[in-house]
C-alpha cells in the first residue's frame, strides 16, 4: 500500500503491532490526519465538549445503580453540559450544535438522550415551530434547563403515523384558551422523555379544532408540573418504568383531561388562531402544512444519525484495541497469534471501520446541506435534507447495532463484562433503530421520494398522489450494461452503485405502475407487495450516497488511507449485494467471484494501520473507559 505512505503517515513496518502505552509519533501523524478530517470545520466545538465530558463529573454510572439515582445523575450531567454551552440554540449555529451533540454521543447515552430531549426536541420544537413570542419567553430557560421540557408527540396507538394522532386541542373562543384533551387510552402520550420526573412543560402535538373545524396536527406548549414538581391539575403522569437501556432517562406517559392553555400556547409559525378563533396559515394545503411542520423537526434525525456513528466508533475502538492485545492459539513460530491477525477478525472489524468513515463523510455532507438550507431555504433543498437525514439515520443505526454485536463477539467473555462498556452501548443504542422514526418506515419514505422524484413532500405518504406520479412517469427500461472496470477504481465502483440504484428504482416504478394501473391493485397494497424491492432500492441509494460523499471526503489533503478505506467500504457493500449485479449482467460471474478475495486483500492492507484508524475517530480514553481497551 505504497500510496498510503506519504510523509505524514506511518509505513506498516513502523506501525507498532500492539497498542503502546504512549502513542508513537508516526501513528500519531496518521491519527492526527484522520482526526482533522473527521472533526472537520467543527474541531473547536468538538474538542471543547470532549474536555467537558472527560472531567471528573462525567464518570459513568455504577452498574446496578437504581433508577431514581441514575435519573438524577443524568439530569445533573445535563445541567453541567448546559452550563458548558451545549445546546444553546440562541448562541450556536446548527453545525456547531450537531457537532456538540455528536461528541456527547461518545459518552453515557442516557445523558445524550436527555440532552437531545431538552435542547434538541423540546427546544427545537419551540425554536422551529414557534415565533418570536415563544423564543423570547422560553429559549433561554430551555438552554439553562431552568425549564426542563418534553416533546410529546408519540401516542400509544400512533408512533410512526403522526398524522393520525388523536389528542385534541380545541379552541374556546370565550376563554381565549385551547383545551388539550386525551380522548381515550390509545391517545395517551407514550414514551415521552423527561416526563416521568423532571419535565415542567411539554410541547404537545394535537389535532387542532377551532371554529368547529379540524385543522390537523399542531404543537402547543403545555405546563405539566408546577414549581414543586407536582403535576398540574388535569395532567396525569405515569412512569414507563425500566427499559432495556437508557435508564437514566425518565420516560413517562401523559394524559390530559381538558387542560386549558392560553391562546399563545400554540406554536404558530405554520398556523395561527386569531382571538375570534379564525384560522390562518401561510401554507394553504393542510397536507403541506403538516409535512412542513414535521419537516421543521428534521434536526432530531440529523443529530441521532451523528450519535449512532459516535456509538459505533466507541465500540470499534474497544474491540480493535483488544484485538491488538489479545492472543490465542499458537502459530508456526510458537508464539500465539494476535486476534486481529485472523482473517475472520479482520473481516468483522475492518469493513465496519471503513463503513463508519463513510458514514462520517455522508453525515458531514448532510450537515453542510442542512446548514445551507437553513440559511437559504428552498423546497428542493429541504426535501434533500429530509431524505438524507432519514436515510443516514436508518443506515447508521442498523450499522451500529450490527457492529456492536460483532464487537462484543470479538471481545469474547470480556466483552460481556459490564466494566468493558459494550453491554451498556448495546443496551442503550438498540432503540436508536426505532426512535426518531422507525428505520423501516424511514426507508419507505426515502424510497417513496426516489420513486416520485421528490415531487411530493417528504413525509407525505399520500399514496394516491404517489400513484398518480408513478402512473404518469415513464420508467426507463434500462439496457443491459456491463462494466469491466466496475471493481477496479473509484469511478468504476461509483458507476456500479449508480447503475444499481437507478435500475432498482426504475424497475420498482414499473412494478408499481403495472400493479396499480394494469392490475388495479390498491396503491397501499401495491407498495406493500414491493417493499422488499423497495428496501433493496433504499440500500442501493444510501450506499451510492455514502460512496459519493466518501470520494470528496477530506479534500485533496486527506490521508491516502481513506482511499483504501473507501475501496473496502465499496467492495464489502458490493460483496453483500453482488447477486443483483451478476443476476442483471452488470458483473460477469468471474468478476463477482473475485469480490470476496478483494475484500480479504483490502483488510490485509489496512491491518497495519488498525490502531490509528480507530484513534482517528477521536474517542477520548476517559470515555472509552473499558479496561480491555485502555492503553
Interaction residues for its own copies, span 164-183 (CB under 8 A)? 164
238/552 with CB nearer its own copies = 238
Measured from the CB atom, the residue of 515 and 562 that comes closer to its own copies is 515
CB of 452 to its own copies, least distance (A): 18
Kindly identify the residues of this chain, within the stretch 275-304, that bind its own copies according to CB under 8 A. none
Stretch binding its own copies (CB under 8 A), from 306-314, 362-370, 373-381, 439-447: 439-447
Cα–Cα distance, 34 to 622 (Å, whole number): 20
Give the three cell numbers for residue 42: 467543527
The piece of 272-280, 437-445, 452-460, 486-494 that touches its own copies (CB under 8 A) is: 437-445
DSSP string, 280-323: E-S---HHHHHHHHHHTTTHHHHHHHHHHHHHHHHHHHHHHHHH
Q: How far apart are CA 84 and CA 322, in angstroms?
A: 33
Cα distance between residue 307 and residue 302, in whole Å: 9
**Using alpha carbons only, what angle is made at residue 259 by residues 255 and 262, rounded to the nearest 5 degrees?**
140
Q: Which of 535, 548, 620, 631 is in the footprint of its own copies by CB under 8 A?
A: 535
Residue with cell 403545555: 222
Interface with its own copies (CB under 8 A), residue from 531, 551, 558, 605:
531
Which CB sits closer to its own copies, 42 or 586?
586
**Distance, CA of 589 to chain centre:** 36
Of the pair 6, 434, the CB lying nearest its own copies is at 434
Run of H or E including 180: strand 177-181
Cα–Cα dist 110/197, whole Å: 14
State the minimum distance, in angstroms, from the CB of residue 72 to its own copies.
15
Helix (H, G, I), strand (E, B) or coil at 589: helix
Closest CB to its own copies among residues 107, 193: 193
Smallest separation, CB 285 to its own copies (Å): 19
Give the CA distances from residue 190 to residues 150, 166, 238, 251, 461, in Å, rounded to whole numbers and listed in that order. Answer: 11, 12, 10, 8, 23
Could you give the CA distance from residue 603 to residue 584 in angstroms, rounded to a whole number?
28
Q: Which stretch binds its own copies (CB under 8 A): 152-160, 311-319, 447-455, 489-497?
A: 152-160
Q: Could you say which residues in the range 71-130 bind its own copies, by CB under 8 A?
A: none
Site for its own copies in 506-525 (CB under 8 A): 522-525
Half-sphere exposure of 550 (CA within 13 A, CB side): 27
66 binds its own copies (CB under 8 A): yes
CB nearer its own copies, residue 66 or residue 262: 66
Footprint of its own copies on 328-367 (CB under 8 A): 328-332, 336-337, 341-344, 347
Compose the 396-415 pattern: x for residues touching its own copies by CB under 8 A, - for all others. Answer: -----x---x--xx--xx-x
Measured from the CB atom, the residue of 262 and 330 that comes closer to its own copies is: 330
56/242 with CB nearer its own copies: 242
Question: Which residues, 225 to 244, sit near its own copies by CB under 8 A?
Answer: 240-244
Please identify which residue in 8, 136, 418, 472 interacts with its own copies, judged by CB under 8 A.
418
- List the one residue from 21, 56, 64, 380 that touches its own copies (CB under 8 A): 64
The torsion angles phi and psi of 381, rounded to 5 degrees, stand at -60, -45
Q: What is the C-alpha to C-alpha distance for residues 321 and 126, in angstroms, rounded to an integer?
A: 43
Element (H, E) at 449: helix 439-452
Indicate the helix (H) or strand (E) that contains 124. helix 123-129
Q: Which is nearer to its own copies, 268 or 430 (CB)?
A: 430
Assess 160 for contact with its own copies (CB under 8 A).
Answer: yes
| DSSP letter (8 states) at residue 61 | P
Give ∠ CA 437-439-445 in degrees, rounded to 5.
80
Report the residue number, 64 or 212, with the smaller CB distance to its own copies.
64
Which of 8, 482, 528, 552 is the binder for its own copies (CB under 8 A)?
A: 528
| Number of residues this chain uses to bind its own copies (CB under 8 A) | 78
Q: Which helix (H) or strand (E) holds 204?
A: strand 201-210
Footprint on residues 444-463 left by its own copies (CB under 8 A): 444, 461
Q: Is 423 in the site for its own copies (CB under 8 A)?
A: yes
Give the residue, chosen from 154, 355, 539, 612, that forms a contact with its own copies under the rule CB under 8 A. Answer: 154
The three-state secondary structure class of 556 is: helix
Q: Which parts of 583-622 interact with its own copies (CB under 8 A)?
A: 583-585, 589, 592-593, 596, 599-600
Q: Which residue, 339 or 385, is less far from its own copies as judged by CB?
A: 339
Could you give the CA distance from residue 307 to residue 310 in angstroms, rounded to a whole number? 5
Angle, helices 379-410/343-375, rounded to nearest 10 degrees: 160
Q: Residue with C-alpha cell 403522526?
A: 162
Q: Which is nearer to its own copies, 12 or 241 (CB)?
A: 241
Query: Which region, judged by CB under 8 A, interacts with its own copies, from 85-93, 259-267, 324-332, 540-548?
Result: 324-332
Amino acid at each position: 500500500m505504497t500510496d498510503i505512505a506519504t510523509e505524514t503517515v506511518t509505513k506498516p513496518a513502523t506501525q507498532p503491532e500492539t497498542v503502546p502505552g504512549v502513542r508513537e509519533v508516526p501513528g500519531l501523524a496518521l491519527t492526527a490526519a484522520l482526526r482533522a478530517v473527521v472533526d472537520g470545520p467543527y474541531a473547536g466545538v468538538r474538542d471543547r465538549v470532549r474536555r467537558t465530558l472527560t472531567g471528573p463529573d462525567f464518570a459513568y454510572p455504577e452498574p446496578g445503580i437504581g433508577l431514581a439515582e441514575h435519573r438524577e445523575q443524568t439530569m445533573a450531567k445535563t445541567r453541567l453540559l448546559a452550563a458548558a454551552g451545549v445546546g444553546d440554540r440562541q448562541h450556536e449555529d446548527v453545525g456547531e450544535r450537531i457537532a456538540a451533540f455528536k461528541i456527547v454521543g461518545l459518552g453515557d447515552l442516557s445523558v445524550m438522550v436527555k440532552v437531545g430531549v431538552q435542547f434538541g426536541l423540546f427546544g427545537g420544537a419551540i425554536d422551529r415551530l414557534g415565533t418570536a413570542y415563544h423564543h423570547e419567553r422560553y429559549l433561554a430557560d430551555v438552554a439553562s434547563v431552568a425549564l426542563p421540557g418534553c416533546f410529546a408527540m408519540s401516542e400509544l396507538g400512533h408512533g410512526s403515523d403522526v398524522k393520525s394522532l388523536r389528542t385534541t386541542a380545541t379552541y374556546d373562543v370565550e376563554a381565549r384558551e385551547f383545551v388539550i384533551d386525551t380522548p381515550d387510552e390509545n391517545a395517551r402520550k407514550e414514551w415521552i422523555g423527561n416526563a416521568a420526573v423532571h419535565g415542567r412543560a411539554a410541547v404537545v402535538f394535537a389535532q387542532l379544532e377551532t371554529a368547529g373545524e379540524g385543522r390537523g396536527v399542531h404543537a402547543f406548549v403545555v405546563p405539566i408540573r408546577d414549581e414543586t414538581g407536582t403535576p398540574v391539575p388535569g395532567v396525569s403522569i405515569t412512569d414507563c418504568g425500566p427499559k432495556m437501556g437508557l435508564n437514566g432517562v425518565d420516560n413517562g406517559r401523559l394524559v390530559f383531561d381538558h387542560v386549558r392553555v392560553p391562546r399563545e400556547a400554540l406554536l404558530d409559525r405554520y398556523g395561527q388562531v386569531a382571538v375570534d378563533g379564525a384560522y390562518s396559515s401561510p401554507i394553504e394545503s393542510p397536507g403541506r402544512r403538516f409535512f412542513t411542520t414535521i419537516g421543521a423537526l428534521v434536526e432530531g434525525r440529523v443529530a441521532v444519525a451523528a450519535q449512532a456513528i459516535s456509538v459505533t466508533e466507541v465500540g470499534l475502538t474497544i474491540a480493535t484495541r483488544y484485538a491488538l492485545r489479545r492472543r490465542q492459539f499458537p502459530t508456526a513460530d510458537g508464539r500465539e497469534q494476535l486476534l486481529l491477525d485472523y482473517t475472520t477478525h479482520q473481516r468483522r472489524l475492518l469493513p465496519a471501520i471503513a463503513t463508519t468513515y463513510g458514514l462520517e463523510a455522508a453525515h458531514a455532507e448532510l450537515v453542510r446541506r442542512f446548514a445551507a438550507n437553513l440559511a437559504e431555504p428552498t423546497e428542493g433543498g429541504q426535501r434533500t435534507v429530509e431524505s438524507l437525514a432519514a436515510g443516514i439515520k436508518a443506515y447508521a443505526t442498523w450499522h451500529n447495532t450490527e457492529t456492536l454485536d460483532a464487537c462484543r463477539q470479538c471481545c469474547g467473555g470480556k466483552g460481556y463484562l459490564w466494566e468493558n462498556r459494550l453491554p451498556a452501548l448495546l443496551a442503550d443504542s438498540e432503540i436508536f433503530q426505532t426512535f426518531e422514526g422507525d428505520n423501516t418506515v424511514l426507508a419507505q419514505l426515502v424510497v417513496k421520494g426516489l420513486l416520485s422524484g421528490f415531487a411530493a413532500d417528504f413525509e407525505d405518504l399520500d399514496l394516491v398522489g404517489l400513484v398518480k406520479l408513478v402512473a404518469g412517469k415513464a420508467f426507463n427500461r434500462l439496457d443491459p450494461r456491463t462494466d469491466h472496470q466496475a471493481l477496479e477504481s473509484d469511478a468504476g465502483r461509483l458507476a456500479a452503485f449508480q447503475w444499481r440504484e437507478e435500475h432498482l428504482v426504475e424497475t420498482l416504478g414499473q412494478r408499481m405502475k403495472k400493479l396499480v394501473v394494469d392490475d388495479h391493485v390498491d396503491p397501499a397494497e401495491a407498495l406493500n407487495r414491493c417493499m422488499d424491492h423497495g428496501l433493496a432500492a433504499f440500500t442501493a441509494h444510501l450506499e451510492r450516497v455514502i460512496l459519493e460523499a466518501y470520494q470528496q471526503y477530506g479534500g485533496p489533503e486527506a490521508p491516502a488511507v481513506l482511499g483504501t478505506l473507501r475501496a473496502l467500504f465499496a467492495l464489502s457493500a458490493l460483496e453483500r449485494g453482488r447477486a443483483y449485479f451478476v443476476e442483471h449482467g452488470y458483473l460477469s460471474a468471474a468478476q463477482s467471484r473475485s469480490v470476496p478475495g478483494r475484500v480479504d486483500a483490502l483488510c490485509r492492507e489496512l491491518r497495519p494501520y488498525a490502531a490509528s484508524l480507530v484513534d482517528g475517530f477521536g474517542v477520548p480514553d476517559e470515555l472509552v473507559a473499558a479496561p480491555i481497551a485502555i492503553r
